[in-house]
Structure 1
């Protein structure tokens, strides 16, 4: 398990991934023979501890267990609180946390759950390696099972805490759509990480060794622990889908909201939607199964019927963003600045999303649209400059003067405009130079008998290389 990280599951190679069970797969089959009780057995995916660390952890949990067996009531509660405090997780059952603390709290919770897993395994593994006379002197496994169950029960309310935090965000309205979307994505990441940790713990429990002396008790403990953890997965699945749906609705609201743009730079809505899509894609296996269930139960109706529900959802988000960007064109005072805004944002979208194979066709269409936006930008921004050479009814000298004046005016303005991506900036400069420099060179060639150039095409080209630096 990667603590605090995103699911590393690989998406199926195409088609509907509804058959996937989650972010992890387990080879355990209910009703199969128990795992052999050989000393030193390590379950797949379990945290690797060296012998010294395992012995230290075993000694510590035995000491805690002896205290647990010799006390009752409030003292037991205090003992569990102390153990959680040692793992920096004494807060896990408390509500009222600031949502901005959620990433840190989630990481702390996952680390604590891993530590508890390691401690449980170290204890059972220790029993497997001892002879009967030594084992009889140890506290009964049933007492250990109660101790572990009490500890995990103290851990599980954190699931309710993050679900409650998510509901708080979901009811916040759409006044600050982008800020709310970023906060909701943080909650979604936390929910996915907690679910991933619980799923991993539940699956790894199935591989715990069974002491031959305590076979029935250890089997019962494995079943109880598995049921205790698995019971939370359905709750998390629902909370995850509710959060995904809230993000989707937020993007739909943003696509209807009016906004005025003054800068051609990457818009915060673009960054927010792309961040969300990449989060969905990174956790595709888990979220695809959840989206499939939502579609099966009618709580989500995909617009694209021949795609997996989650893929359809991602394309819907992309389409909403694209429509909103086009609508923003109307808010720019100058069309040339508006088209540069579309070029910047559309190229950023393509750059971030084109590696996703499910979006191969939409990205090809978007790439053609970017080329069209570039041609529209050249026409509205530099076309009038070039037309001074051919469409001015005054003498050629005045036409050249007008061309130079208009070129300088556009050049001075667009030096302050920003194209953040170096590759796109070079592509635009090349397109401008091709239109202006080649057009000017042809004009000079056609009128070389009557015209003495004040500036050369090469000098114009050098000036073009100065624009879009911001």
Structure 2
């Protein structure tokens, strides 16, 4: 068998004579199967693919995406010279059939390497969330890679191979792209008809943003008006469905927050699970603040604060109510401060105002928990231990006993109360110490006036006891 270069020269001669010789025309027709096979071989065997295991796919980054089955410049040039002969001989349909068949399969394989395989709607609807979550995450990466790398490469290849017949090249490109694009859109459509759930919101936002991000680039790849209108319509329909799903899911998320009606107080005044849930989720959603400005405004977090105020009424002790409110608002403020998107969204003024509110809760706690001890049991009413009037002996014995009893009760209850943040816990202990220790020191200064047996703890003992406060583990004074 003669080499391909000599064979192509022979085909050139046959094409040139075909209009004048039936024998030459027959020779051209007989040559086409070998040219078709050469095109198929060049398009298939020269593919360079990066194979990934299913584990590797989870770690894929844009810079390490699977490379689509692109051809080397030499292989592309070889395909073009063979394609030119087939087109000049009038075998464009046969060329297109071979080309589309090979490139469509190559594209489908590349998409599958991204972890996006064909899945029926029924499968998506029944899918476990852990599996669906992974597929939605992969999809958001895949749709960008497919449009910007794979389809962009296919368009360039079509332009080169079908340089002498641009219209046929545009048709071939549309046929190559159709299956994989519709497969991607089909998965997104299946997500929109599956049950709406709050946990899907973040992933659905990612899909919506990814698709709207590449929509203009995808449409620009198609020069043929009919093809461009077809793909534009399909993508727009999916974007609309994703948007509708987002709106309804966000509404349901809001209803779930405001409809949370548990009447069980959180032990020790700790952070309410709803606060953690909402703020953690808001931190994630803030990455998409361009889409959700209207949803995650200042009012949304203040509404949550009002809901926490309602939950605080489940506590009988005013001091514990303030601990609960302080814990929850501090958590909100910390989440906003540590999240650049949330901080940018709400602003530093919001942070200053709510830090001030935390200080108000601290003051409320101190008044509710320690006012009686400082003003009555330690006989304080003006910032110093009261001195008995001249000539009168103060009933210091009973006062010492009443302080002992009061402190025992405070120790038992406030070791069970929990201040979650370590820094806030230490600040609160210091705030208590700054009020209690000077008062107790002054109280002990009256020691010569009452029996020593009424004093159950030294100043150092009292300071040590206070280190147990707000740990969430009830303890008892060992006197």
TM-score normalised per structure 1: 0.66
- Rate the CA distance shift 1:50–1:233 in 2: closer, same or farther, 3 A: closer
Find 1:468's aligned residue among 454, 470, 474: 470
- Rate the CA distance shift 1:339–1:54 in 2: closer, same or farther, 3 A: same
Q: Distance in 2 between matches of 1:281 and 1:83?
A: 32
- Rate the CA distance shift 1:122–1:82 in 2: closer, same or farther, 3 A: closer
Give 1:90's aligned residue: 117
Find 1:330's aligned residue among 303, 313, 325: 313
1:75-126 Cα distance to aligned partner (Å, 9 max, x none): 9999987665454322444332234433201123234434433222222233
The DSSP-based 3-state class of the residue aligned with 2:212 is helix
Measure how far apart 1:239 and its partner are.
2.0
> Relative contact order (alpha carbons < 8 A, sep ≥ 6): 1 or 2 greater?
1
Based on CA coordinates, which of the two structures has the bigger radius of gyration?
2
- Rate the CA distance shift 1:324–1:68 in 2: closer, same or farther, 3 A: farther
Q: CA RMSD in A?
A: 4.2
- Rate the CA distance shift 1:331–1:464 in 2: closer, same or farther, 3 A: same
Measure how far apart 1:128 and its partner are.
5.3
- Rate the CA distance shift 1:80–1:93 in 2: closer, same or farther, 3 A: farther
Measure how far apart 1:277 and its partner are.
2.9
The DSSP-based 3-state class of the residue aligned with 1:338 is helix
- Rate the CA distance shift 1:429–1:388 in 2: closer, same or farther, 3 A: same
Note if 1:69 corresponds to 2:52: no
What does 1:59-458 align with in structure 2 at a 5 Å threshold? 69-70=97-98, 85-95=112-122, 96=125, 97-117=127-147, 118-127=149-158, 140-165=169-194, 168-169=195-196, 183-184=197-198, 186-205=199-218, 217=224, 224-254=230-260, 258-288=263-293, 309-310=294-295, 314-354=297-337, 355-356=343-344, 358=346, 360-386=348-374, 387-390=376-379, 395-445=395-445, 447=446, 449-450=448-449, 455-458=457-460
> Which protein is richer in helix relative to its size?
2
The DSSP-based 3-state class of the residue aligned with 1:341 is helix
- Rate the CA distance shift 1:193–1:187 in 2: closer, same or farther, 3 A: same
Measure how far apart 1:426 and its partner are.
0.9
1:136-181 Cα distance to aligned partner (Å, 9 max, x none): 79x844123112112211221222222223xx34xxxxxxxxxxxx
**Alpha-carbon contact 2:269-2:327 (below 8 Å) kept:** yes
The DSSP-based 3-state class of the residue aligned with 2:269 is coil
- Rate the CA distance shift 1:326–1:68 in 2: closer, same or farther, 3 A: farther
1:212-261 Cα distance to aligned partner (Å, 9 max, x none): xxxx55x875665445424422322222222222212222222x664443
**Alpha-carbon contact 1:353-1:359 (below 8 Å) kept:** no
The DSSP-based 3-state class of the residue aligned with 1:104 is helix
The DSSP-based 3-state class of the residue aligned with 2:435 is helix
Q: Distance in 1 between matches of 2:117 and 2:182?
A: 13
- Rate the CA distance shift 1:438–1:57 in 2: closer, same or farther, 3 A: farther
1:52-96 Cα distance to aligned partner (Å, 9 max, x none): 877469989x9xxx99925999x9999987665454322444332
Q: Distance in 2 between matches of 1:431 and 1:237?
A: 50
- Rate the CA distance shift 1:54–1:207 in 2: closer, same or farther, 3 A: farther
TM-score normalised per structure 2: 0.65
- Rate the CA distance shift 1:261–1:422 in 2: closer, same or farther, 3 A: closer
Measure how far apart 1:428 and its partner are.
0.6
**Alpha-carbon contact 1:425-1:468 (below 8 Å) kept:** yes
Q: Distance in 1 between matches of 2:402 and 2:118?
A: 73
The DSSP-based 3-state class of the residue aligned with 1:344 is helix
The DSSP-based 3-state class of the residue aligned with 2:416 is coil
Runs (5+) with no aligned partner, structure 2 = 1-60, 80-93, 338-342, 381-385, 387-392, 473-479
Give 1:304's aligned residue: none
Q: Distance in 2 between matches of 1:131 and 1:159?
A: 33
Aligned length: 372
**Alpha-carbon contact 1:262-1:332 (below 8 Å) kept:** no
The DSSP-based 3-state class of the residue aligned with 1:332 is coil
